[in-house]
Amino acid sequence: MNICVIGSGYVGLTTAAVLAELGHEVNCIDKNKQKIDMLNNGKVPIYEPGLKELIDKNYNRLTFTDSLDDYIKRASVVFICVGTPSLQDGSTDLSYIEAVIDELANRIHSYKTIVTKSTVPPGTNEWIYNKLLEKGVSPELFNIVSNPEFLREGSAIHDMFHADKIVVGLRSGDHQSLTVLQKIYTGINAPYVITSLNGAEMIKYASNAFLATKISFINEISRICEAFQVDVNDVAKGIGLDPRIGPHFLQAGLGYGGSCFPKDVKSLERTALSKNIQPYLLQAVQTVNETQIDIYIEKLKTLFSDFTNLKIAVLGIAFKANTDDTRYSPAERFIRHLSQLDCEIHAYDPQAKLQNPPRNVMQKESITAAIRDADCVVIATDWNEFKQLDWLEVKQLMKGTIIFDARNCLERSKIEKHGLHYVGVGRG
């Protein structure tokens, strides 16, 4: 099939590359000319494992352009994958979606299946449908489908090829689009969840809100564990073996971040409030997450009476491993909070970069450079290379002995046998 993918962010590029691998002719469109130039020169503007290789492999079926004109005419399917960031009040900014609709309205002269992958509040796809009608597009020339993504940054390619579900939201009376989606995804073996447009939008929000809830839950439990000298990892393992709970997203630490959870939970809260529903649980989830950094800063204050002459190495800047994304990153927030204590901070991350770091924060090009002569090493993102450090070498490079595990990802025994002092939160 001939498919247009509008947007070249994480979702857009992953979708375009996977659809090309499935055999479709894919045109990826973005208004950002710099991004398009990079892609046409063989460079991928984001770090996502396996993405560049997949794009290179399918170069003959992939086109990158900043112009919609010719490609929209030829395409039978249009995927909308543009950003939906938060507004200042926490509601969703739909200006990028609206801009796409304005562009499409003037270019729909043959039948199109318009598929929204962008995360949007309930009611948005119905709004898109009505907006196109208002702009004079015949209802005979298009259908709107809500097909949210459930991709994890760092494993997006795998997640799309091995999806646990494909959610398809359809308008009442739409008997064509499901067949189109099934044809597009031929080769991906996953159960279909067929629902309304609002239902698909709500599934996406509920999914992210529930996962964020699990993270905030185990973080709150870690605070209680700390008071009773209980290892929260034991608790997570114990409850995670219960099939009703499951082990995923039960790793205590600095909290959740990234491009999805923070904005989606806040957006769902605002959506509920707009209908006069008080979302107590969603608000509590956010409160725990927003205060989690403070727990770790206060823990550090119990270890050092004066930070003025300290050198602290912080390993991790990205919000999670296997990505260069720093949006709402707990690691970056931790660094900025820590910098207010006037210590010298040496930060390192394999992929992510600090933007406009405070005066006392320096980003180093290697782990060795970051930890040399450090009084304390903080693990702020759980990259595998941090979990597999040679702790004897670390001991020899450091001036101090404290390893502060802010991701609960290290084995205490491996660290302590080399004369280092392991510190965590809720680790007994």
Topology agreement, domain 2-190 and domain 195-428: yes
Convert the pLDDT of each residue in 290-346 to its tens digit: 999 999 999 999 999 999 999 999 999 999 999 999 999 999 999 999 999 999 999
Q: Contact, 337 vs 297, CB < 8 A? A: yes
Query: Measured between alpha carbons, how far is 68 from 142 in angstroms, rounded to an integer?
Result: 17
Domain 195-428 of CATH type 3.40.50.720: yes
Domain ranges in the chain are: 2-190, 195-428
Q: What is the pLDDT of residue 114?
A: 98
* pLDDT average, residue stretch 363-378: 98
2-190 CATH pick, 3.40.50.2300, 3.50.50.60, 3.40.50.720, 3.40.50.1820: 3.40.50.720
Check residue 360 and give its pLDDT: 97
Sign of CA dihedral 211, 212, 216, 222: positive
**List of residues 6+ apart from 155 with CB closer than 8 A:** 49, 322
Q: What is the pTM of this model?
A: 0.95
Average pLDDT rounded to a whole number, residues 214-236: 97
Whole-angstrom CA distances from 23 to 76, 162, 180, 188, 305 are: 15, 17, 15, 12, 62
Q: Report whether pLDDT(287) > 90.
A: yes
Q: Where residue 275 falls among pLDDT bands split at 50, 70, 90?
A: very high
Q: What is the residue-averaged pLDDT of the chain?
A: 97
Token pair 């991709």: residue:
151
d(CA 144, CA 173): 12
Mean pLDDT computed over 394-413: 97
Question: Does residue 247 carry a pLDDT above 80?
Answer: yes
In whole angstroms, what is the distance from residue 121 CA to residue 92 CA? 7
Q: How far is the C-alpha of 294 from the C-alpha of 301, rounded, in Å?
A: 10
Measured distance CA(183)–CA(113) in Å, rounded: 12
Catalytic positions, please? 260
Nearest Cα neighbor of 322 from 149, 151, 153 is: 153
Give residue-wise pLDDT tens across range 185-224: 999 999 999 999 999 999 999 999 999 999 999 999 999 9
Mean pLDDT of 62-91: 94
The reported pLDDT for the residue numbered 340 is 96
Q: Residue 393: left if φ>0, alpha if ψ -120 to 50, beta else—which one?
A: alpha
For the record, the structure tokens of 206 come out as 């509920």
What integer pLDDT is reported at residue 69 of this predicted model? Answer: 85
117 vs 352: CA distance, rounded Å: 26
Q: Which amino acid is present at 368?
A: T
Closest CA to 295 of 328, 234, 329, 252: 252
* Cβ contacts of 230-234, under 8 Å, gap ≥ 24: 230/426, 230/428, 231/426, 231/427, 231/428, 232/408, 232/425, 232/426, 232/427, 233/408, 233/427
Which pLDDT band, with edges at 50, 70 and 90, does 428 fall under? confident
How far is Cα 65 from Cα 43, in angstroms, rounded to an integer?
14
- The whole-angstrom separation of Cα 346 and Cα 339 is 10
